[in-house]
Structure 1
């Protein structure tokens, strides 16, 4: 199914607007004549975005114009969610195969241009609801009421909801099987589940990418190949001495001179003990709890000095023996103060052990960091390790997980890289149970992306969709603010929303250009649709405006006044024409001495131009 047109009679703050979602047809509903006019769009190109992408529409508009509201209306139309909008006079036009259908609760007149086949009316929204798999994706966190239906009532009917708000709740249920929407869950429980699932989604994406690239199918963006795990040690001077003794005793006890992998596990063991010590500063007024935490390194040191352990090789793990050391501490902990903390540490070290002694693992930087080559890692073990990491309180205090493009570095991905990969990873996580077409709806697609990536987003995104969902027809509808998105789309693939007299209206085209595809980005920026007062930042505009006002207020400007009050403020202006005009304004109020200074400056600029001209003549 492909959604072609929606007429919104009344929905929240939007009324009487028609949204064209087809690049092949143009629809216009005349409210007064009760007539839907259908014509062919100019310059239609079949399979323009890809063999399996039926269309891509961008809903672009000013802040508050209603982009997200339109997207939610579409979601409700497609999903038949629990709380329907009850817009009884709405019109929905969609295509299944070669037949175009329309849904309307009332009789309407259909006016077709020549060559367009007759539209068939349907009376049941179920025909819309079950004809496509609807996917809603949003990276924004919407601080809406806890009880808002968008996020707490399942998947919005048949929609697969991939919004951050929804996943924050649903990921807990996915992991535990418990009701995620009850109110007594803590923030930590929700966040840990969400963070773990988000990382697992990214790992699965990157593993899939690695497999595709191994077969010669490149991924549209440069994906990180490694998950680095770095150890964090307590920097408290008070504990440095005992931790150093513990380090030396552990290495001697386990005899790990030839085993970098076991050295890493020892360092993880020491880091976990430093975490236990670090917890002391968060304990208020409980001397017995403080003393129990503080005694841990001494008890471990005593164990290492009074027990013997057989020699180990690279193939043998030291983690079972570390477990025994921890058990000896727990036996002396008569109040069970350390039970949960040590149990969490043991579970995580066990998962870590599987990786340290697996293949494709690099141990680096004095055995305090390991790099896991994602495409070659054991999927189940890696996902279990991530779950252990987020499940246990405090692990993030002594271990850091981060994706990287190279092994052995603390350089993580930028927030923009994460934002881009999250879009792909969430879509990649969708379970496909049928061959129904997809309708993908994305809110604020370019959010957190660098302008260079905004420029590349459509190119990479359609490439990913075409590769990942080869066997499905896909329609894409997204909202955006960016003129970079606009320049990648023909004008018949764009819905422009504006606010006029407090109402949302549809604008057919930009004021300065009729065609958007391949349009100059500066022209799109300077169009009043995006910026009402030019390209200059508001802070600089105000500063320059104040400068001009001050100059105009002066009766006379001496050389001394110019040097102390105006020179530096003029020199930092990057727009040369504007700078020259301000200097002319200064000259009008200056004495001869200052005018000579300005002339000298202009002569220097002219001399530079002469040199360039002469060089070109010689060439």
Structure 2
């Protein structure tokens, strides 16, 4: 029996570990694509001859084995000018991952490698009994291929050099789609036993894209969306407590559990940033022992925790606090405050010109807690809790006293909620939801404040308290008085192997706090926006790959180099490849398909890893098989790549400067020196031109114009001489 279970485990592992690779995708008559062979295999080249209905496979003789490293199976770059459809191809591949042949267009051939088998899914109109399969110039009649036991499948096994090709041709018909599209989807989609990670910095907020997550969960697909629009959606949705919440909301205009009014107030972009910080800290924590993968990535040395004492609900009522962009510590002295809340504020704020680090952090956390409670508790319950508080003695002498006091407040609040009685079923449900939310909120903050006091802030050797001066604004019945300035301390944490672990735990715990009011802001020290963009990209990819369900991972990157300085564009591939080939990800087999505008990225590529798209005069998009006058991209000079028509078909000079150069050149060519443009302007203009060939040519034209103008000058001088001679003769005659 034990041997039987061992056998089952081995079989399961073999099934799970099957390597999968998208190797070819033929697009035709979809949008502007015309007979586009998209090859994603680095060692084989596929081509479909539509006119003769031939499917052609050739070996790439220049294939560089393991060029991309041990974890990467294939890297392919899609390049071309704006408007050729780079993003559309990535979106189409994503659709094939989810739905296979069950979505239009049907005019498609899709080749997927699973271990040594090549599964070729094709439309019935592309291959028929008159077609040929051509392998290294050897033709095989399609009608004579071996038939599988399963209908519509033909098999061809053949050797190509050292590789045995095992081809399975799967025909997809319109009839089969009509009869059972779900079955076709299940069989042909790329997402079977494979994970997909999609990244784009473009804002794509269509309803279609927002439905991906629900679709993938329903169909048990592992799809990780790192797009900006999806991150924003996820941040907004993170404020929802449970599915019942929307039902019992006072505001019935609900979007994903968040009311339209509250939606504007939510700092969900801040939540997005906290998520990115958490991901980076996790990466730094897990990769701490592998220094090689961080050689080129700019790692932050320090992180600071800033506070925003004006919560979003109060911020909209207090626009006038924006004077000189100063920070304000706002102390609410309203009668509506809980008794415990007022006691706590007095303990922290009364008669103090300086608030220490521990007190400042507790102050903002308690403020967040009670701001969140104000959103949840009905007004009637609030009054009952205040009444019960009067019988409790609050002893707040030291910071640690906050824990038992919060426990007591929590006990009072939950007891009052429990004592509520309702007759109607919906009112009882509303009570259950409110009590669950309040209990969760109080537990979350109580545990987190205890953790901050007893664990996080005890690591004094890693935390530096930095003083900040803020305004102290007191609010009493909507009257605001700014009496003084007060010094608070914010924590700055130096990052190393130990402190990164503590900081990651802190952000992870803080991010799990419920409620929409959160006022801790995490900021990397001395990182530019481009450096942060690259850091977020690399670390989110690392975490997504590590958390992916399957061993095989397909990554689609849409212009990942956007916003990066050329120096970072030059390094981006090296940084990404170092991270993706790390020992932490050695169990994964990764395929990358990326689009780019950057010649720095192209210079990293063997030419067989490039798909170059070109738009013809008729508007059709085709695959250009080679660069004119540039047969190789690997290590190519950036200037040469820029000079190629792929990037700039009409030169490397800006349009405005080019117009001015033409203006000066035409002026000189038309012999208009000293007309339209004066000589002084032309001389100054030529002196500032940086391109040496253009500058030399304009100097040559300028000198020629001056020479050509010399006869006129000589005539004028001769006339002056003749005139002077006459005057001299007249003078001599008079003297005589």
Task: Give the corresponding residue for 2:306.
Answer: 230
Q: What is the DSSP-based 3-state SS (H/G/I as helix, E as strand, rest coil) of the residue aligned with 1:536?
A: coil
Task: Give the corresponding residue for 1:543.
Answer: 660
Q: 1:139 aligns with which of 180, 201, 214?
A: 201
For residue 2 of structure 1, report the CA deviation from its aligned partner.
0.6
Rg comparison, structure with higher value: 2
Aligned equivalents of 2:325 and 2:623: distance in 1? 67
1:105-125: per-residue Cα shift (whole Å, max 9, x none)? 424532222733241124555
For residue 535 of structure 1, report the CA deviation from its aligned partner.
1.6
For residue 541 of structure 1, report the CA deviation from its aligned partner.
1.8
Determine if the alignment matches structure 1 residue 79 to structure 2 residue 98.
yes
For residue 497 of structure 1, report the CA deviation from its aligned partner.
0.3
Task: Give the corresponding residue for 1:364.
Answer: 466
Alignment of 1:198-217 (within 5 A): 198-214=273-289, 216-217=291-292
Task: Give the corresponding residue for 2:226.
Answer: 162
Aligned equivalents of 1:196 and 1:523: distance in 2? 44
Contact 1:58 1:494 in 2 (8 A): yes
Q: 1:436 aligns with which of 532, 545, 551?
A: 551
Instruction: Mark the CA change 1:317 to 1:361 in structure 2 (over 3 Å): closer, same or farther.
Output: farther
For residue 547 of structure 1, report the CA deviation from its aligned partner.
3.3
Instruction: Mark the CA change 1:268 to 1:94 in structure 2 (over 3 Å): closer, same or farther.
Output: closer
Instruction: Mark the CA change 1:27 to 1:147 in structure 2 (over 3 Å): closer, same or farther.
Output: closer
Q: 1:5 aligns with which of 24, 29, 32?
A: 24
Task: Give the corresponding residue for 2:507.
Answer: 382
Aligned equivalents of 1:265 and 1:184: distance in 2? 28
1:461-492: per-residue Cα shift (whole Å, max 9, x none)? 11111224210111111111111111101010
Task: Give the corresponding residue for 1:121.
Answer: 169
Instruction: Mark the CA change 1:261 to 1:103 in structure 2 (over 3 Å): closer, same or farther.
Output: same
For residue 72 of structure 1, report the CA deviation from its aligned partner.
1.3
Q: 1:414 aligns with which of 520, 525, 528?
A: 528
Point out the more displaced range, 425-434 or 475-484.
425-434
1:184-213: per-residue Cα shift (whole Å, max 9, x none)? 754974874454244324323333324422
Contact 2:198 2:225 in 1 (8 A): yes
For residue 23 of structure 1, report the CA deviation from its aligned partner.
0.8
Q: Which runs of 5+ in 1 are unaligned?
A: 276-306, 325-342, 405-410, 595-619
Aligned equivalents of 2:328 and 2:92: distance in 1? 63
Q: 2:560 aligns with which of 445, 456, 480?
A: 445
1:160-194: per-residue Cα shift (whole Å, max 9, x none)? 32222223223433553559975975497487445
Alignment of 1:123-522 (within 5 A): 124-127=184-187, 128-142=190-204, 145-146=206-207, 154-155=215-216, 158=221, 159-174=223-238, 176=240, 177-178=242-243, 182=256, 185-186=259-260, 189=263, 192-193=267-268, 195-214=270-289, 216-219=291-294, 220-231=296-307, 236=323, 260-262=356-358, 264-265=360-361, 310=397, 316=399, 354=453, 357-359=457-459, 360-365=462-467, 367-372=488-493, 373=495, 375-386=500-511, 391-392=516-517, 395=519, 400-404=521-525, 411=526, 413-430=527-544, 432=547, 434-467=549-582, 468-500=584-616, 501-522=618-639
Aligned equivalents of 1:386 and 1:539: distance in 2? 50
Aligned equivalents of 1:24 and 1:240: distance in 2? 60
Q: What is the DSSP-based 3-state SS (H/G/I as helix, E as strand, rest coil) of the residue aligned with 1:377?
A: helix
Aligned equivalents of 1:491 and 1:456: distance in 2? 19
Task: Give the corresponding residue for 2:115.
Answer: 97
For residue 377 of structure 1, report the CA deviation from its aligned partner.
2.0
Instruction: Mark the CA change 1:375 to 1:492 in structure 2 (over 3 Å): closer, same or farther.
Output: same
Contact 1:8 1:14 in 2 (8 A): yes
Q: TM-score, normalised by structure 1?
A: 0.72
Aligned equivalents of 1:201 and 1:242: distance in 2? 27
Q: What is the DSSP-based 3-state SS (H/G/I as helix, E as strand, rest coil) of the residue aligned with 1:10?
A: coil
1:555-603: per-residue Cα shift (whole Å, max 9, x none)? 4439x9433x334433332224433433343334449999xxxxxxxxx
Instruction: Mark the CA change 1:504 to 1:153 in structure 2 (over 3 Å): closer, same or farther.
Output: farther
Aligned equivalents of 1:497 and 1:24: distance in 2? 20
1:396-426: per-residue Cα shift (whole Å, max 9, x none)? xxx653112xxxxxx3x22211221222233
Q: What is the DSSP-based 3-state SS (H/G/I as helix, E as strand, rest coil) of the residue aligned with 1:80?
A: helix
1:1-58: per-residue Cα shift (whole Å, max 9, x none)? 0111011133233242121111100111011222210110121122210112111000
Aligned equivalents of 1:443 and 1:269: distance in 2? 39
Instruction: Mark the CA change 1:105 to 1:353 in structure 2 (over 3 Å): closer, same or farther.
Output: same
Aligned equivalents of 1:44 and 1:34: distance in 2? 27
Instruction: Mark the CA change 1:100 to 1:241 in structure 2 (over 3 Å): closer, same or farther.
Output: closer
